[in-house]
């Protein structure tokens, strides 16, 4: 029976899902988390590994010659040295589309929180502020209507397209920048170059992968091209943004607000400049994590492994 090791299963399944699909396919061992110095030991003798954020490097592959399959419990697969895996005939599969609905919904939730500060106003009411108010209504932050404003999407794959559909439903004009924009998105967004998107958008939302070309895409120069009244949303990858430059833009009122679900080092470190930046909303990388989304992830990961066992790998990267 094939030995299957889950290196860091807690994020995908903190107890509200089942590993039964994998248990039916081999001898399964699940670790909630794996520190780097234990990765080789835990993969020793395994033919299949499942990882979310635990790194599987070329050095680890060299020391684990029996490994034939790596299933990434995520869409991004930069934690695996795919070139080294390919050279050693190790199949690597990811789960490309499980979180489309959840992440696009969350991106817009971040935007709406900036526009209305619903949570802060709820806290104010429960603290007695409304009860003691001489007027029937009060607000502590500017309230922003999105209808008629422009959403700019950097990246126009599944999640960018879904986010664009929601923005259109809110009455926004939608611009998109993507080298790979397809015909399916044309009714939703007008495709423009990056400079036009940055200068014309009231909201810029990031939905592109992290590549050498996109690393640090949002930096001092690109922020300078944005409106000082603009809002930046990042639910993609933390390293798309130069965080020091974003904090500086916020603190000097060169950008109105930002909301990020991802940062460059996760969990966030206490010295991250965004923690003290003005009007910056930070959530702990949870856009993907709705139960329905994680159920799809688990089901697809099992199907990927079944396809590998049948000799027809799918979602191979």
Domain spans, the chain: 3-98+291-309, 100-282
Distance, in Å, from the CA atom of 82 to the CA atom of 69, rounded to the nearest integer, reads 11
For residue 143, how far is the Cα from the chain centroid?
27
pTM score over 0.75: yes
Alpha helices by DSSP H, 271-311 = 291-309
Burial 133-161 (b: 16+ CB within 10 A, else e): eeeeeeeeeeebebeebbbbbbbbbbbbb
CA 26 to CA 152: how far, in whole Å?
Answer: 46
Catalytic residue numbers?
A: 237, 266, 285
Q: Report residue 1's pLDDT band, with 50, 70 and 90 as the boundaries.
A: confident
pLDDT tens for 133-170 read 999 999 999 999 999 999 999 999 999 999 999 999 99
- What pLDDT score does 293 carry? 98
What is the share, in percent, of the chain residues with pLDDT greater than 90? 95
Q: By three-state DSSP, how is residue 260 classified?
A: strand
Residue 131 confidence (pLDDT) above 70: yes
Contact 32, 11 (CB under 8 A): no
Q: In the prediction, which pLDDT does 183 show?
A: 60
pLDDT reported for residue 274? 98
What pLDDT does 181 receive? Answer: 62
Does the 3-98+291-309 domain belong in CATH 3.40.50.720?
yes
The rounded percent of the chain whose pLDDT value lies above 70 is 98
248 vs 222: CA distance, rounded Å:
13
Please tell me the distance from the alpha carbon of residue 16 to that of residue 304, in angstroms, as a whole number.
21
Strand order through the sheet with 27-30: 27-30, 3-6, 48-51, 69-72, 91-93
Give the chain's mean pLDDT.
Answer: 96
Read off the pLDDT of residues 179-232 as tens digits, 9 standing for 90 and up: 776 566 778 999 999 999 999 999 999 999 999 999 999 999 999 999 999 999
Judged by phi (left if over 0) then psi (alpha if -120 to 50, else beta), residue 15 lies in left
Q: Is 103 exposed, middle or buried (0-12, 13-18, 19+ CB in 10 A)?
A: buried
The per-residue pLDDT for 179 is 79
Give the residue-averaged pLDDT of 47-66: 97
What architecture is domain 100-282?
3-Layer(aba) Sandwich (3.40)
Enumerate the H helices of the chain as residue ranges: 20-23, 39-43, 58-63, 82-87, 100-116, 118-126, 158-169, 194-200, 220-225, 243-251, 291-309
Residue 171, beta-bridge partner list: none
The first and second tokens of residue 42, run together, are: 């835990």
What's the angle, vertex CA 98, arms to CA 161 and CA 94, rounded to 5? Answer: 110
């Amino acid at each position: 029976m094939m030995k299957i090791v889950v290196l860091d299963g807690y994020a995908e399944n903190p107890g509200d899902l089942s590993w039964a699909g994998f248990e039916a396919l081999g001898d399964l061992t699940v670790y909630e988390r794996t520190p780097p110095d234990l990765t080789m030991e835990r993969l020793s003798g395994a033919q299949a590994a499942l990882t979310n954020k635990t790194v599987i490097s070329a050095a680890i592959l060299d020391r684990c010659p029996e490994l034939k399959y790596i299933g990434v419990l995520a869409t991004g697969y930069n934690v695996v040295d795919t070139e080294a895996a390919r050279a050693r005939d190790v199949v690597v599969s990811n789960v490309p589309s499980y979180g489309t609905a959840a992440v696009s919904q969350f991106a817009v939730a971040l935007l709406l929180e900036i526009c209305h500060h619903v949570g802060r106003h709820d806290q104010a009411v429960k603290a007695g502020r409304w009860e003691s108010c001489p007027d029937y209504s009060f607000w502590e932050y500017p309230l922003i209507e999105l209808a008629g404003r422009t959403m700019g999407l950097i990246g126009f794959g599944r999640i960018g397209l879904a986010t664009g559909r929601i923005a259109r439903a809110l009455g926004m004009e939608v611009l998109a920048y993507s080298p790979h924009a397809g015909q399916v998105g044309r009714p939703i967004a007008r495709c423009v170059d990056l400079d036009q998107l940055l200068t014309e958008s009231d909201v810029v939302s990031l939905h592109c992968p992290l590549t050498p070309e996109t690393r640090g895409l949002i930096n001092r120069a690109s922020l300078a091209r944005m409106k000082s009244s603009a809002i930046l949303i990042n639910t993609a990858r933390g390293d798309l943004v130069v965080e020091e430059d974003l904090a500086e833009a916020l603190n000097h009122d060169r950008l109105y607000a930002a909301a990020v679900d991802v940062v460059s080092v996760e969990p966030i470190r206490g010295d991250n400049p965004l923690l003290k930046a003005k009007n910056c909303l930070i959530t702990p990388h949870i856009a993907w994590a709705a139960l329905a989304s994680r159920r799809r992830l688990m089901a697809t990961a099992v199907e990927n492994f079944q396809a590998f066992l049948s000799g027809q790998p799918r979602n191979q990267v």
